[in-house]
Structure 1
């Protein structure tokens, strides 16, 4: 079944105002005939497009070009800005694949100004100039790393799908090599070629992605530790702080304070 196509805003405008999404909001796989930039102000939003899984948190945004199937899931309450673009001259300058970016202070201010433009009247010359600069900033923005590409190789897919379902699985790549009928060296080479990450990097990014989602959803820390295969909260907390510079409790407190 084809993914449904959603309609653009009523006006040929490039802006949609700031909005909040309540706990547990899901959007099923769908496509747009226009481009969409989603900027997260607070909370955690995760989703998928083709073989790519992504996670957005405060200070990051995702550009989704026209005709790209995608879905999104709010982990708890989120606050976001959504900018719709469908003028050909803007779309031609932007990526043709879903792209995660880090929002610079300038881009943040441009987005804040853009959402004050009304949906119900044409853009002024000043408004067009603002969107032109905004598009330039999207193009040059650094990419964010909370992207997880899923491999195409059937053997790697089997491994990755198992880890997505059970991230506490302790099998090594050597163990998996024996089970999927390949050498460990071959699997390492294919992992790097198809995902841009080593086996260990891919696994750690998956676990970090899940930890951030579960923290935003309010799961108890001991339960998150267990789901990720840690024997203690302390072990999980040390690992989490090494990757984020915050303990799980500190991360959760920061996330909640942004929503107040």
Structure 2
């Protein structure tokens, strides 16, 4: 879950005009700012949040926050244990202009922020690297293999797993399944936390990794998953931080497509 400049939350969230009372989460959390400043307090230590400074807060760590006027938060929640910041304690993260712009671009495009953060969080307190290949790929595979509770989303997902090059729009899927595009859109959001387009791209990237590992040429892989050659390159760089050729060079030579 990602939040960019949210408004005040419910009283149950402990949110006030001044900030957050001491609390913890069941999930890991990355915090930074798109504007203004704030201070997050963990074990009596004050950690600044601003456009150049962020904070990684692992699940279960009690923290409070003090917001200054004009503070606009950027928050991304991650399932506990998916990423590792090298410590079970809160850790500051340097946010360069390049990283900040990439986070915002991926957030607004509906991409996978966890893959962007995977490399950065490998070195608390300063590293500004790209996503680590294994962590990024693991996140893509988790999303592509997600089991759907909603029967409509499950049907669409099953068909796309069989034919990832199927490029039908939500409206076309809705017509084929005698439902509405809004119903499918809501179903994917409930079951994945993101959009239909985001999940389909994750599936295509995951499937392409398997095909690349089998030695299939990049152009043929792109066609097999419904992307142009340049589209496949862009998807790999955005989701995995590597080109398809780099992925193929480091991929195992065997594998199976994403499981339903």
Q: What's the TM-score bracket when you normalise by the shorter of the two chains?
A: 0.3 to 0.5
TM-score for both structures, normalised by structure 2: 0.42
Q: Whose strand proportion is higher, 1 or 2?
A: 1
Whose RCO is larger (CA < 8 A, sep 6+)? Answer: 1
